[in-house]
Amino acid sequence: MTSAKPQHYFETRVPLSEEPLVAASRLARSGLHDDYVVYENSGRWSFAGGALAELSLDREGARLRQVHAPEVLLPWDGQPLRQVQRLLDGVTIRDWRAYGWAAFELSYAKDGDLEHVGDQRLLHLIVPRTEVRFEDGEALLRSADQDTLAAAMEILSDTSTFAGFRPSPVDVRTAGAEQYRKAVGLAVDAINGRQLQKVIFSRVVPVEQEVDFVGTYVTGRRGNSPARSFLVRLGGVEAAGFSPEIVVQVDGEGRVVSQPLAGTRALTEDPVQNARLRADLLSDPKEVYEHAISVKIAWDELLDVSEPGSVDVEEFMVVKERGTVQHLASQVAGRLAAGRSAWDAFGAVFPAVTASGVPKDAAYDNIRHHEPEARGLYSGAVLTVDQGGAMDAALVLRTVYRKDGRTWLRAGAGIVGQSRPERELEETVEKLGSVARFLVPTSTGTPTTPHGI
């Protein structure tokens, strides 16, 4: 690849006068950049806007555009994630962090097979023109030019906020319900016929009202307890989500973690009812089996990329509360083997077994056959990856989506041999509530008076 002149950021630190959720959302709302990603990782927020470098992947290959350098296209060679790594190695911005998303359909193509891939983009990453990281009461601002850095500082110093975010919930019970029940019944037959062990089917709920994504993100984040959260407008895709789990996390020392969640009960406002549902979740053979096979697959996948003897189940079948539901959760961890990178770990576990099935190839066939449309970002990932090799990839669930003028919600349930169609449908309703009750119409999400966001 042609070399380019190294780029650098202008940087400054300022005290943070408001909570990071509000500050990051203010930057998204400001119009400072048309495309952006807001990402929350374990209570630490970042804002990434514009692009000094932009990487995309589709059936033609991997493409890198960056300022002051010619465009680089690596034609499809059957190893797309290695091409992504190669292009990122050519990014000339010092101390970069890339932000972006991967579509579920990347799972079909990551091992080289394009049979089930259309013209859609499979992965889209940016190394931002402006980046703000919020931590320990401070904001670290970085921008490619001093004027934009100053503009970002001015936005963060603004004392006015937004008022009057009034959610307008949508009905999530009826859309596609009958088709979903039938699909679950067919999946149970296939599982009992030993074609596969588990599959996750989802259903789509259209949203007819115009949605304020920034307002929905702020309101929904305050009403949820996610493992990760994100607000995305990138490559024609918009999303505001409250992810219950990560796909994979890799730190700079090569420690790799996957956190499968499988098995669900509702989370209500009644503590007594929640305790009863929790006890039922922990003792239900169907839920325990569904969870156990998911953990086994996560274990097997990490074995492929980890040092021998390093893979361990560090946490097994605890209950995590995520918005309107509670899940069985485990944590599987290992250490990357010599010569392996975060992209190898990502490729090993993507897509999350808890959003696809067991075995994955058989689950893919069933998903393509029974679901009404391609998944796109749903059950894919929103992720960050650092120049030093660290990666954090959130599973895209509990999310509202917009593309090409269309807005929708989507949720699924894990189906095994003991599944009942009505209960699996009810599980999708419970999960959809984590987002549906926080949807803010555009008319109520407009900045008004400084009374608090």
162 has pLDDT over 70: no
CA 305 vs CA 79, 308, 324, 331, 347: distances in Å: 16, 9, 35, 16, 10
Mean pLDDT (whole number) for 80-102: 96
Q: How far, rounded to the nearest angstrom, does the alpha carbon of residue 91 sit from its chain's CA centroid? A: 24
pLDDT tens per residue across span 175-188: 999 999 999 999 99
* Reported confidence tier of residue 444, pLDDT bands at 50, 70, 90: low
Mean pLDDT (whole number) for 315-335: 92
* Reported confidence tier of residue 325, pLDDT bands at 50, 70, 90: confident
Distance (Å, whole) CA 184 – CA 203: 11
Q: Which residue has 């959720």 as its token pair?
A: 21
448 has pLDDT over 50: no
Q: Are the C-beta atoms of residues 37 and 234 closer than 8 Å to each other? A: yes
4 has pLDDT over 70: no
pLDDT tens per residue across span 28-44: 999 999 999 999 999 89
Distance (Å, whole) CA 327 – CA 284: 12
State the chain's mean pLDDT as an integer.
Answer: 93
Sheet strands (E) in 361-404 = 381-386, 391-395, 399-403
Give which of 229, 265, 165 is closest to 384, Cα–Cα. Answer: 229
Q: Are the C-beta atoms of residues 126 and 64 closer than 8 Å to each other? A: no
Structure tokens at 187: 């999946």
Q: What is the CATH number of domain 177-444?
A: 3.60.120.10
- Output 302-306 pairs: Cβ under 8 A, ≥24 positions apart: 302/256, 302/258, 302/332, 302/333, 302/334, 302/345, 302/348, 302/349, 303/334, 304/348, 305/256, 305/334, 305/336, 305/337, 305/340, 305/344, 305/345, 305/348, 306/256, 306/334, 306/335, 306/336, 306/337, 306/340
Stretch (H or E) spanning 141? strand 138-143
Structure tokens at 294: 């998911």
Distance (Å, whole) CA 440 – CA 168: 6
What per-residue confidence (pLDDT) applies to 158?
86
Point out which residues pair with 206 in neighbouring strands: 408
For residue 281, the 8-state DSSP code is: H
81 has pLDDT over 50: yes
3 has pLDDT over 60: no
160 has pLDDT over 80: no
Sheet strands (E) in 150-213 = 198-207
Distance (Å, whole) CA 56 – CA 100: 10
68 has pLDDT over 90: no
Mean pLDDT (whole number) for 300-307: 96
395 has pLDDT over 60: yes
Domain ranges of the chain: 10-157, 177-444
pLDDT tens per residue across span 94-139: 999 999 999 999 999 999 999 999 999 999 999 999 999 999 999 9
Residues serving a catalytic function are 245
What per-residue confidence (pLDDT) applies to 276?
94
Neighbours of 102 (CB within 10 A): 27
Share of the chain above pLDDT 70, in %: 96
Where are the alpha helices (H) located in 142-176, listed in sequence order?
Answer: 146-157
User: Residue 141: is it exposed, middle or buried by C-beta count within 10 angstroms (0-12/13-18/19+)?
Assistant: buried
Please provide the distance, in angstroms rounded to a whole number, between the alpha carbons at the two ends of the chain: 47
What per-residue confidence (pLDDT) applies to 278?
92
pTM for the full predicted model: 0.94
Distance (Å, whole) CA 128 – CA 289: 43
451 has pLDDT over 50: no
8 has pLDDT over 90: no
What per-residue confidence (pLDDT) applies to 447?
44
CA 123 vs CA 36, 38, 79, 92, 369: distances in Å: 15, 17, 14, 20, 23
What per-residue confidence (pLDDT) applies to 163?
59
pLDDT tens per residue across span 212-241: 999 999 999 999 999 999 999 999 999 999
Do you know the residue count of the chain? 453
Distance (Å, whole) CA 258 – CA 299: 9
Give which of 244, 183, 161, 164 is closest to 432, Cα–Cα. Answer: 244
